[in-house]
Structure 1
Amino acid sequence: MSHHEMARCLRAWRDRLTPASAGLPSGALRRAPGLRREEVAHLAGLSVDYLARLEQGRAGNPSPSVLESLGRALRLSDDENAHLFQLAGHANPRSAGVNRHLTPGVQRMLDRLGDVPVMVLDAAWQLVALNPLCAALLGDLNGESGRRRNLLWRHFTGVASRVVSTPETDAAFEAAAVADLRAAAGRHRHDRNLRALIAELRQSSPRFAELWQRGAVARHASTRKTIRHPQVGQLTLDCDVLTVEGSDLRIVVYTADPGSPDARTLALLGAIGMHSFPGDVVTSGA
């Protein structure tokens, strides 16, 4: 691993970003160009100390998940992301298999749709990004890593959720989600991360193993979700899944009928924002 070259690149990429390009307020006059180290650390879900050590060439080998978070936060192109992974001695995850790259257009959409909850998932149901209102609604997954960022893993292993469900709605969601995952596995037969996820789910969840054995194949459709929020109460929202053309990314958007009680509750949540809400987080947001 080239610690010094990675440090130089990280500093240069941070310096070229403006607050507006990263979806942040410009604020007061800045002493230096680009984003502050604290801002990039927040966007990437890393500690400021760890990012400082990376930028100074003093950190150990960063994991692929850390590199992917940095790539998203710094708005790296495919070539720049490949260079970052090469410097760290890892294979480039964008070169084959499930495409998890958050394109600039999708990132701009995420930044500008501030009045509705939005999350971005890949074909394996791994969380790629979510906006602040979605984090306020469902719980902030930005601090999670590995399998705990995967919505199917969270659901089938019983991680607590704010989504209100019944045995009937759970059964419908599970059947549709597993069929969707099988379709993704058919499209990406050589994706090691996807194969590993399926193998671990079959071992960890008898329910998943049962559904997987059925062999159903389908794309996951839009639905409605009822969420019980610890501060603003219960609300039911339309949950629409939009596919990004030419990509495996899905944009999940939560909306309410204009003027409805649910719309007013959602607006209240947007007004009070993320104020260290206690409580659990979502397991099956799509």
Structure 2
Amino acid sequence: MSVDELSLGATIRVWRDRLPPEAVGLPVARGRRAPGLRREDLAELAGVSVDYVVRLEQGRSTSPSAQVAAALARALQLTLAERDHLFRLAGLQPPGGGLISDHVPPGMQRVLGHLGDSPAAVFAADWRLVWWNRSWAGLMGSPLEIPVEERSLLRSRFPVADGGPLLAAWPVVSTQPEVTDRAMVADLRRASTRYPDDPRLAEAIRRTLAGNERFAKLWHEGAVGGHAEDHKTIRHPAIGDITVDCDVLVDTDTDLKIVVYTALPGSEDETKLRLAGVVGAGV
């Protein structure tokens, strides 16, 4: 095996070729020649351009950022050992212990693949969006236009004056906003003790404390807890109001949160929810 075969680009290509499209919820097109994911598939899943994937695989780009490396690892469904190897090939230090994880492990991705057409997303311990399916993008608006570091539900729930764009492209109204806000703040307070040395979490809390009076008030109440469920109305511009149940499932090892939206079976909201996925199929 040559040195070139051990390069970052060659390794990404090997991992891309081994991952079948159905493993990431993509349809298998008739006459498809690629044995695994196409470059276009990987680019879409990782939130980067196709040209950038081409340059990586051809060795013309060899130094992706840590955010891009993490996104590639999620898209390729790498194990933790493989993720660390990808970081080292890119000249990066693998994420260390005691820091928030953005890595969605293969087992969790398999579970997500079995959720069917239900809108689903994964958030890190600081409520940064790290994964979503097409139904989520159709329902909420595509997050691809938002920079990775600004895909924060915390920013959306508690905006600050100098904050970036909101995560949802259109209004999302909680039926119990007071309960929802308290639950998120309590969850972040718990995360602050689990990840006391994580600079991203510390900066998010500092910025929001300084820039949002409501967050500061709730934070100083000192509640600690989790965020398990909610009921929301999504004001979709093409379909109208859709009322959904929001359930949050937490992986206790990584503190990753799977957020799933569902509607009452047989209801008009369920029909609208499915329609939103169809409308957003090209997102």
Task: Write the distance in 1 (CA, Å) between the matches of 2:267 and 2:25.
Answer: 29
- The answer on 1:77 being equivalent to 2:85 is no
Point out 4+ residue stretches in structure 1 off by more than 6 angstroms.
none
Is 1:234 matched with 2:236?
no
Which residue of the partner structure matches residue 99 of structure 2? 97
Sequence identity percentage: 45
For the Cα contact (< 8 Å) 2:67–2:148, is it kept in 1? yes
In 2 relative to 1, CA 83–60 (structure 1 residues): closer, same or farther, beyond 3 Å? closer
The amino acid across from 1:188 in the alignment is: Y
How large is the Cα RMSD of the aligned pairs? Answer: 2.3
Alignment match, 2:63: 61
Counterpart selection for 2:185 from 163, 178, 184: 178
Alignment of 1:5-154 (within 5 A): 5-59=7-61, 61-93=63-95, 95-154=97-156
SS class of match (1:106): helix
Amino acid at match of 1:222: E
SS at match of 2:126: coil
Aligned ranges for residues 171-250 of structure 1 at < 5 Å? 171-250=178-257
The 1-side partners of 2:149 and 2:101 are apart by 17
Please list every run of 5 or more consecutive structure 2 residues that lacks an aligned counterpart in the other structure: none
CA gap of 1:87–1:112, structure 2 versus 1, over 3 A, is same
Counterparts of 1:23 and 1:29, CA distance in 2: 18
**Residue 187 (structure 1) shift:** 1.5
How far 1:175 sits from its partner (Å)? 2.1
In structure 1, C-alpha distance between the alignment counterparts of 2:231 and 2:114, rounded to whole Å = 23
TM-score normalised by structure 2 residue count: 0.88
Query: Following the alignment from structure 2 to structure 1, what is the Cα–Cα distance between the partners of residues 260 and 60?
Result: 40
Instruction: Structure 1: state its 5+ residue gaps.
Output: 277-286
1:142 counterpart SS class: helix
Residues 64 and 220 (structure 1), Cα distance of their counterparts in 2 relative to 1, 3 Å cut: same
Deviation, structure 1 residue 184: 0.9
Which residue of structure 1 aligns with residue 159 of structure 2? 157
2:192–2:201: 8 Å Cα contact kept in structure 1? yes
8 A Cα contact 1:99 1:249, kept in partner: yes
Give the length in aligned residue pairs.
274
CA deviation string 1:1-52 (max 9, x = no partner): x997211211111122222223222212343432211111111111011111
Is the contact made by 2:184 and 2:227 (CA closer than 8 Å) also made in structure 1?
Answer: yes
Tell me the TM-score normalised to structure 1 length. 0.87
